[in-house]
Amino acid sequence: GFFSVECQACHGLGIQAMREGRDAEGLELLQNALAAAPLSEHEGINPWELLVLHSLINALFKTDAIEELDPLILRHGEAAKEASARQGRLCVPELDSLIFSAQLHEVRGKPQEAARDVRALLDLVRQNETAAQDTLFQFQGVLNDASSRLKILDPELGEEELVTSVAAELAKVTAFMAENIQRQ
């Protein structure tokens, strides 16, 4: 329908504008995409809201518009949990929400809260190992993303126990992937 096309167009143009350094235009287009996303017609899960929220949150971090992030990260988390519930398994956006929350806490100078979010992410991965095995590349990407975005996971700056835990999970995922490749 119309709103799906509007959402897709605004999303794509918004991302392109952000890449080209036209931040104000990019943010406006992404906000328009977000407004159209819930109106998109889809059977079952509407992928647009989570995708647009993800892009908009990243754009707001890029432009240091920190004050606008709280409601969007909350909305992303709720939509991600709903997607996981509908699919009957953990979905990657639920982990992304925890990374966004940790990143926001870190920007605000609250490393303990950021560490709490990372621990919650690790707990979700451990509790959902079957889902993690079904989408190994995505889970590996999420853990790598968390490691690259968060100072608390920097081996030289971060909390040793947390850095080690994330590294151990990455090692498990990588080993499982290598094992599956050898079987094929």
SS3 44: coil
Cα separation, 74 vs 125, whole angstroms: 20
- Residue 145 CB contacts under 8 Å (≥ 6 apart), including other chains: 96, 99
Are the C-beta atoms of residues 173 and 143 closer than 8 Å to each other? Answer: yes
The arithmetic mean of pLDDT across residues 52-57, rounded, is 96
Q: Is the pLDDT of residue 131 over 70?
A: no
Query: pLDDT by residue (tens digit) across 87-122?
Result: 888 888 999 999 999 999 999 999 999 999 999 998
pLDDT over 70, % of the chain: 91
Signed CA dihedral, 179, 124, 166, 141: sign only = positive
Q: What is the pTM of this model?
A: 0.86
Torsion angle of alpha carbons 158, 159, 165, 171, nearest 10°?
A: 30
Signed CA dihedral, 122, 51, 176, 164: sign only = negative
The arithmetic mean of pLDDT across residues 18-36, rounded, is 96
Q: What is the pLDDT of residue 54?
A: 96
The arithmetic mean of pLDDT across residues 161-165, rounded, is 88
Query: pLDDT by residue (tens digit) across 133-159?
Result: 666 677 788 888 888 889 888 888 888
The overall longest dimension of the chain from CA atoms, in Å, is 50
